[in-house]
A and B are shown apart, each in its own frame.
Chain A
């Protein structure tokens, strides 16, 4: 401790008196002082951190962030008859208003005899071609309906139905068809 100048008071005085006759101890102390002086001259004991103001601000912010915010305790609800009676009174009022409403409205009598009635109408089947007679046969039991056309000319065998139907050409084919079918369709004249 004496080497590092940590002795004080009476201890220091006693030791100093003794060490006067010990040159190697005195030299060691000087050596230690020289050493500490060299280290202290090269390495700073204090060095302001970069952006010192920001340094402080960040610490203050961190402290504020971790401080629990004062929460307002929910006010304890006291039991009150008013809290129960008010909804009951509201419900009773609504029922009463409904009842009064039904009692105050005049009764409307519906005259069933004077109401318009459905008139049975014969079914008419329209045919665009004159001379053709159409007859409708409907069977509820069979859940079927047949229309018989009398007077329609016979359809000749030479009639080309393809003229009345749409046949896709070129690339207009179903994308789900197989590749072979699609190619054969394209190759067909």
Chain B
């Protein structure tokens, strides 16, 4: 049986407002427990919420960026359930009238295809606190610092058909919210969390299968693994004659499996109703215009521009446009070097692996865009070869200065003087007289192979500095001549 995978995602993004969504407390991460919990965050008797306008502005930014309908009359509702880290016994969220309605997002796949994913809605809500189960001798500690942090919950249509597409979608959202400056995207700290709804159906079937929701997956890698393992579980279950039960599940990365958390029967009836403490949010057209004017160039536009302006492939352009910082870096390197393809290669491959190895973001790169651009200029004017460039790049990463300084100090300048190269070659050929004899006696096919040996010897003799093209030409004439 051929199975088709159907995935829809709910992404919770913590908005980077300075204070909470309904109180004046700070939203800084990592403070001492309960030092950022005001009377409102504690759900004290008699307290009332006041909406933080900045959260509204950020949600609207997101809505405009995905071409969504903005709920110009949107309403906060109470989602009622009991949990110790939910101080009021209800979460203020949005139900029937969310701030962001239907929109969409284009994601670029590795094979260069573009896929459009629908966004059903995005709504504002408050985060809960944290229950701490360790260090309390069997009791539970409650930290309410996070309670009331603004979240934008982004709900996708069930449009994704593979774990890879799901990851590409999350990466696109991740890039977008960081571009907009509305979420820091720090998944390790929980600033961006993902619930994955996964079902399978026989290929060609129109109706969806029964879905399971994998809660709170918090890295790109785990999203892919969790979905794949859940898909595998569902396929095996059905092929063994079983049935998928609608469930909330948790992914265990150590065992690479999902486990049930609660089933539909145990699900809460949240008894949503409009929060009488908050008035409906009315968004005027003028406000929308103001927000629209502040939108930066966004990843899809940037990707298209990179393709058109620099002739890059869809995939390269979309990778470079992933973060604002990376795109800016790339454009700076292009500006200095005047060669977009060379710049794209160096930024994606060498710089990428350097940053990866050092575990730093591009805005803390040990090699600046100016340094890299300067080095690319030296490749282009034949001062250094691509091979020597790697040595220069490593030296720049070690803080040895600009490319020119390094080339100078280390004497890495390429030798292009025909006379000097010729002398080196003569010396090398004399030392390998036997091989020269063999070469001359050989037929065309064998000569090809042997030629490489002489090039290698020549480069070795010149310590890699001889211009490879000149070496080729001179060698050929000396051997054939």
> Do A and B assemble together?
no
Interface residues of A (CB under 8 A from B): none
